[in-house]
Structure 1
Amino acid sequence: GVVWGLVYVAVPAISGAFMERPVQLIPIPWVDFTQYTGYFLEATPIGFTLHLGPIFAGLLAPFWAVMGSFLGVVVHTIASPILYRHGFMPNWMMGMDTIQTHFVTGIDFWMSFGIGITFAVTVIGFYQVWMGVRMATTEKAAKRSWEPPPGRGDFRIWVCIAFFCVSSLYTIVVARVLFPHLISNTLLVFFFIFAFVYTPLISFVNARLDGLVGQNVSVPYIKEATIFLSGFKGIEIWFVDFGIDNYGASAERFRQIELTGTRFSSILKAEVFMVPLVLATSFMYWSYIWKLAPIPSDAYPYVQLMWPLRALQRSVWVTGTMRGEIETNEERRQVTWIPSNLPDGSWWYWRARASVDVDLEAKARTYGPWSKTDVFYTAFDNSDPPLHPRVSIPDQSIDLSEALDKGLPSAPEILGPVEGSRVDKPNPRMMIAEAFDQRGRKLVYQFEVDKVPSFDGSFLQSSDDLPILFDALKPKIIGVGFVVGISMFIFMSVFGLPILMVFGYIQSLTQIPHVLVTQIIGALLARFYFWKKYGKQEWRLYAAVLVVGFSVGMALVGMASVSIAMIQKSVSVLLF
């Protein structure tokens, strides 16, 4: 670990402190061939990591789980080019690297397929748990008692319940006080259900199942489903704590505390002492690290690659609630568009037009002329808007003759927000009067809003825009993934194959394959060499020591390297 850390960590860290760009003897985090192999393996990330960490992890990880991940990589490498050639991955383009390929192919196919597999594994997990509990209950149970073991320092039950209620209420109250416009009464009911019904129930079930059958269960995408069912518009709701937790794994830690003879009161004292200290020093430490070099930058190669991918993957869900809505009032013959969140303190230009192509997609429609362009100012604090540059608004004259000759509808009339008005919320109601059609046909409308009157800026928003999540979630592919997952479980159960391969396959759906390719090396070495030489159980003990030793060696070198870099960055060189 120390030797590898000197090559993999120390050289880039120390050289980056003295040079403009760090020196990498070994590419970090991987060697990428995707831009070259894309000519014959389309839409497939190809590469491998030279880090020894995955190999050591493969020495210790369950063999069939690693095999499932590796087979998943092989299957995806074969399937992705076939799917691309049949039009299932339209967003992939030649020349994309691993990060871009992994993201766009996930949007086109693998994300939906993975969700289907996840639901299948959830069903499988509940089935296995039910069978395990059924077998456990048939055995003669030992006499149970609610009395805790003596000398363990347990708190009274009512004290534990009181602390749980206070901590759960704290997050709900803070969310309600800080965001009164965000947390509706309906959402507040869900918060209480999650905090006081779902969390205790799922925690108790998982604690029992961990002891009975060694497995856990969960309900996937419960937070995402709640957000979408609430009908909330905007991104703020995604960063609010819903009180959804699973404390079942804590039972295992409690057992470890009991076996080591540690009192719960001692653990509490240690936490009370440690948490304030860690919080204070962490803020100091990370603020200092942040000032050493821009993040992301060449000084942090892993962050420079992975942060954009994680941001893109996160934004797929977060932007799912940013879709605008169109409302029609047939009695007043008015149409209203409510855009997604508009930033504060800006002038916004907007317009609208109509089309008779109701049954066609937005890109295929033929529209009539645009309405006049109006402008309004967003001031959420009700402050007076500044003077806007009226000269930048384009010509407001509308020529209807060409539209009437072609049988197109007229330009709609803007009703509000009127020119120069102020709006005090990020989702203003942009209202127009219905356009006139000579034949009285049903019309569909398109709105646009932007910070520039040319409507080609980076903040352009159209009523036809759909969040990328709507394109990523494909019900048919989700169904295919669910069927494949269930079929894999049935096939392996019938032929006596290890079910761990299914869980390993799920890992290949979410991770970059370059790491999984080298992990198989460690798994094969452990299975076909070390198991035979030392025995399975004895080798697992050795493997754990090897993995920990390797990690500690790299950590020591990393700490020393970062210390040198921090000292160098703290020194100011004077001219005399």
Structure 2
Amino acid sequence: MYDDKELKEYRDLLKPPDHFEEGFNWKTIVGAIFIGFLMMPGSMYLQLVIGTGIGPAARWVTIILFAEIAKRAYSDLKQQEIFLLYYMAGAAMASPFQGLLWNQYLVQSDAARMLGLTEFIPSWIAPQPESIAILERTFFHQDWLIPILLLVGSQVIQRIDQFGLGYALFRITSDVEKLPFPMAPVGALGTIALAESRDEKIKSWKWRVFSIGGVIGLAFGAVYILLPAVSGLIFTEPIRLIPIPWVELTRHTEGILPAVATGIQLDLGLIFLGMVLPFWAVIGGLIGLLITIIVNPMLYQNGILHSWHQGMGTVETIFANNFDFYMSFGIGLGLSIGLIGLWQVIKSFKGSSNMERGSLKDLFNPPPGRGDFDFRIAIAIYIFSTLSYVVLCTILVPTFPWIFFLIYGFVYTPVISYITARMEGIAGQFVSLPLVREASFIAGAKYFGYQGIEIWYAPIPIHNYGEATVNFRQIELTGTSLRGVIKAEFIVFPVVMIASLLFSQFIWRLAPIPSSSYPYAQELWHLQALNTLLMQSSTMEGNSLFYQALNGNVVFSGMGFGVITYAILTFFGLPILLIYGIVRGLGQSTPHGLILEVLGALLGRFFFLKRYGKQWRQYAPVLLAGFSCGMGLTGMFAMGLTLILKSLGSTAF
């Protein structure tokens, strides 16, 4: 695994610098305000309309704008300033109040009523359906006070928490064990692309590639996002030349492919995404999809997929198949992935003797200028944040055994975090043990007498901080002092919270969420609610639908399939990323976007990689960022028109 050829291509793309700077100044503060009040609303709108936010576009638009302003002021942006803008844009795009928009839908959803769970959803995540706050679609009501306070408190703990165990593990795996973190340079390269623009040769190709992607994104976004938005303001129904979120074909193919969800998602961004993703992971997804297409009709003929019937669309088909077979099979596959991850970690310890290592002295003597703080402070932060979660959960769910919260925070979390940190450091792979959280909830209900679903919404201290080590490695590779990142966090947090509340309120008041004004949410949220609440019914008294759907034999079949597939891939020397892709393709999500992803992967591998060589690895992320930027600008323009024109005809607040 450590010698995987594809990972080797990423490992040496970038070396750590010798000089570090904070990069925090007035530009950073203005950038935080710009991101929160201009970028975030566009991202929120796109999430509801097409299912993807602005993402990288927000980062690139911010960087480009500030770079151009600096240029006209006869100045330039340092690499560290650019990274902080990039970092803050990523933090701001995760709008906290979008979770409350989901909660307001959940409490009044058809899925909750169908499963008989509406009355059991706790009032501290959202008011009840008959509340004035829900009926009038407003967050500015006393019924939202507790959910909002709980959200803000959890966000404060999270912001502090990221500098706890995640940072401590970075010091252990990077400074002491000297692991290479092969995927960190991929993210770091994108952030420093514009900082290198003073070199005309580098500037020429990066701006050219970015501009090409941007123009394609603007053109496609005009048809995919802007046209439906503008026509919906003029006519009774929006004009959609390209269906959102996909072209539905399930009812047309049900005679040939019973119990198979078919269709195609015509989002051009999926092609660019396929060019960036690891090739064998995408191909694995295709193999998983083909297996699903072949196996589902056989399972239907043998009475296993018995809930499916003709006339079902994609959402109904996927939920019915998950209920009958794929939920249990997916649990088994997930368990096999967990076992494989543990086995790989054991192998990594055996192979680590061949790698350059530091000593425990490096743990307390980090490289000068990097902005590190004492390792013991990181451990203290971890203990404080974990105890905060434990106390909060004990207050919110007093009937659930509190010993579970301590085990989550002080046993499971550090173990799985260290395992993941090593795997990220060696092979760029994230490791998770599936269903630990769910299994513990069910055990609490079965053996300790807990009944209810409040525990599913509590901020329990199960975290995997291993992934955070990659972020700290990216900070190091860009030459940014950690002190600058900490200062940026203090600035961006209040901006994000205020902007998220205001624009969530504004978008909700314009139209119910979900509704025809937000087609992706209207199409997909019902499926997501069904799957979420089906699992939550497992801790209710009586024979819940979850236990009806769970099949032990199918779980073990999925586990056996995953382990055997891994053994075969290892025996023939095939890429391990295949199995992760196969898991993704085996009916666990909507498959309609995979076709264009595969097309992008094939174009990248067999056309662009041959034409441009290994430098294509650097071109592809910049091209995707340019496309996302174009799409994001179009989405922001469409949202601006929608908000302005609709607010003229109705009171927004």
TM-score by length of 2: 0.63
Deviations along 1:49-87, one digit per CA (max 9) or x if unpaired, are 111111111122222111111111111111111110011
SS state at 1:248 partner: helix
Partner of 2:337: 121
Alignment of 1:54-133 (within 5 A): 54-133=270-349
Aligned counterparts of 2:419 and 2:278: Cα–Cα separation in 1? 25
Partner of 1:489: 566
Deviations along 1:172-205, one digit per CA (max 9) or x if unpaired, are 212223443x33xxx2111112112322232233
Deviations along 1:352-404, one digit per CA (max 9) or x if unpaired, are xxxxxxxxxxxxxxxxxxxxxxxxxxxxxxxxxxxxxxxxxxxxxxxxxxxxx
1:483 Cα shift?
1.3
1:211 Cα shift?
2.1
1:538 Cα shift?
1.5
Alignment of 1:110-259 (within 5 A): 110-139=326-355, 141-143=357-359, 145-146=362-363, 147-180=365-398, 182-183=399-400, 187-231=401-445, 232-259=450-477
Aligned counterparts of 1:163 and 1:197: Cα–Cα separation in 2? 16
Alignment of 1:101-500 (within 5 A): 101-139=317-355, 141-143=357-359, 145-146=362-363, 147-180=365-398, 182-183=399-400, 187-231=401-445, 232-324=450-542, 466-500=543-577
Aligned counterparts of 1:158 and 1:131: Cα–Cα separation in 2? 30
Aligned counterparts of 2:419 and 2:594: Cα–Cα separation in 1? 32
Amino acid at match of 1:159: I
1:291 Cα shift?
1.1
User: Which of 517-526 and 298-307 deviates more?
Assistant: 517-526
Q: Assess if the C-alpha contact under 8 Å between 2:397 and 2:458 holds in 1.
A: no
Structure 1 runs not aligned, ≥5 long? 325-465
Deviations along 1:336-356, one digit per CA (max 9) or x if unpaired, are xxxxxxxxxxxxxxxxxxxxx
Aligned counterparts of 1:545 and 1:25: Cα–Cα separation in 2? 28
Q: Assess if the C-alpha contact under 8 Å between 2:222 and 2:634 holds in 1.
A: yes
Identity %: 41
Amino acid at match of 1:40: I
Q: Assess if the C-alpha contact under 8 Å between 1:22 and 1:298 holds in 2.
A: no
1:212 Cα shift?
3.5
Amino acid at match of 1:188: W
Matched, 1:35 2:113: no
Amino acid at match of 1:69: G
1:213 Cα shift?
4.0
Deviations along 1:256-282, one digit per CA (max 9) or x if unpaired, are 222333222222221111111110111
1:518 Cα shift?
2.0
Partner of 2:165: none
Aligned counterparts of 2:649 and 2:440: Cα–Cα separation in 1? 53
Judged with a 3 Å threshold, the aligned counterparts in structure 2 of structure 1 residues 209 and 66 are, in CA distance, closer, same or farther, namely closer
Aligned counterparts of 1:301 and 1:548: Cα–Cα separation in 2? 25
How many residue pairs match? The answer is 428
1:520 Cα shift?
1.2
Q: Assess if the C-alpha contact under 8 Å between 1:223 and 1:242 holds in 2.
A: no
1:234 Cα shift?
1.2
1:142 Cα shift?
4.2
1:137 Cα shift?
2.2
The one of 600, 615, 627 aligned to 1:550 = 627
Aligned counterparts of 2:325 and 2:537: Cα–Cα separation in 1? 19
1:115 Cα shift?
1.4
Q: Assess if the C-alpha contact under 8 Å between 1:8 and 1:24 holds in 2.
A: yes
SS state at 1:164 partner: helix
Judged with a 3 Å threshold, the aligned counterparts in structure 2 of structure 1 residues 519 and 210 are, in CA distance, closer, same or farther, namely closer
1:140 Cα shift?
5.5
Alignment of 1:489-528 (within 5 A): 489-509=566-586, 510-528=588-606
SS state at 1:89 partner: coil
SS state at 2:296 partner: helix
User: Which of 469-478 and 162-171 deviates more?
Assistant: 162-171
Q: Assess if the C-alpha contact under 8 Å between 2:345 and 2:419 holds in 1.
A: no
User: Which of 47-56 and 258-267 deviates more?
Assistant: 258-267
Aligned counterparts of 1:190 and 1:117: Cα–Cα separation in 2? 25
Name whichever structure is richer in helix by fraction. 2
Q: Assess if the C-alpha contact under 8 Å between 1:133 and 1:209 holds in 2.
A: no
Aligned counterparts of 1:103 and 1:77: Cα–Cα separation in 2? 16
Aligned counterparts of 1:497 and 1:259: Cα–Cα separation in 2? 31
Amino acid at match of 1:201: V
Q: Assess if the C-alpha contact under 8 Å between 1:136 and 1:212 holds in 2.
A: no
Q: Assess if the C-alpha contact under 8 Å between 2:259 and 2:297 holds in 1.
A: yes
Judged with a 3 Å threshold, the aligned counterparts in structure 2 of structure 1 residues 25 and 566 are, in CA distance, closer, same or farther, namely same
SS state at 1:548 partner: helix
SS state at 2:526 partner: helix
Judged with a 3 Å threshold, the aligned counterparts in structure 2 of structure 1 residues 317 and 86 are, in CA distance, closer, same or farther, namely same
Q: Say what the alpha-carbon RMSD is for the aligned residues.
A: 1.8
1:17 Cα shift?
2.8
Partner of 2:642: 565
Partner of 2:239: 23
Judged with a 3 Å threshold, the aligned counterparts in structure 2 of structure 1 residues 40 and 204 are, in CA distance, closer, same or farther, namely closer
Aligned counterparts of 2:385 and 2:366: Cα–Cα separation in 1? 24
Judged with a 3 Å threshold, the aligned counterparts in structure 2 of structure 1 residues 110 and 205 are, in CA distance, closer, same or farther, namely closer
User: Which of 128-137 and 99-108 deviates more?
Assistant: 128-137
1:163 Cα shift?
2.3
Deviations along 1:145-193, one digit per CA (max 9) or x if unpaired, are 221122222222333233222222222212223443x33xxx2111112
Matched, 1:532 2:532: no
SS state at 1:275 partner: helix
Deviations along 1:8-67, one digit per CA (max 9) or x if unpaired, are 010112222333332211111111111121122110111111111111111222221111
Q: Assess if the C-alpha contact under 8 Å between 2:397 and 2:454 holds in 1.
A: no
Amino acid at match of 2:642: A
Aligned counterparts of 1:110 and 1:562: Cα–Cα separation in 2? 38
1:141 Cα shift?
3.2
1:296 Cα shift?
1.2
Amino acid at match of 2:388: Y
1:114 Cα shift?
1.5
Amino acid at match of 1:500: L
Aligned counterparts of 2:275 and 2:371: Cα–Cα separation in 1? 39
1:513 Cα shift?
1.1
Structure 2 runs not aligned, ≥5 long? 1-216
1:309 Cα shift?
0.6
1:240 Cα shift?
1.0
Judged with a 3 Å threshold, the aligned counterparts in structure 2 of structure 1 residues 75 and 213 are, in CA distance, closer, same or farther, namely closer
Amino acid at match of 2:346: W
1:228 Cα shift?
0.9
Amino acid at match of 1:262: T
Q: Assess if the C-alpha contact under 8 Å between 1:112 and 1:477 holds in 2.
A: yes
Judged with a 3 Å threshold, the aligned counterparts in structure 2 of structure 1 residues 159 and 531 are, in CA distance, closer, same or farther, namely closer
TM-score by length of 1: 0.71
When Rg is computed on C-alpha atoms for both structures, the one with the higher figure is 1
Deviations along 1:407-466, one digit per CA (max 9) or x if unpaired, are xxxxxxxxxxxxxxxxxxxxxxxxxxxxxxxxxxxxxxxxxxxxxxxxxxxxxxxxxxx3
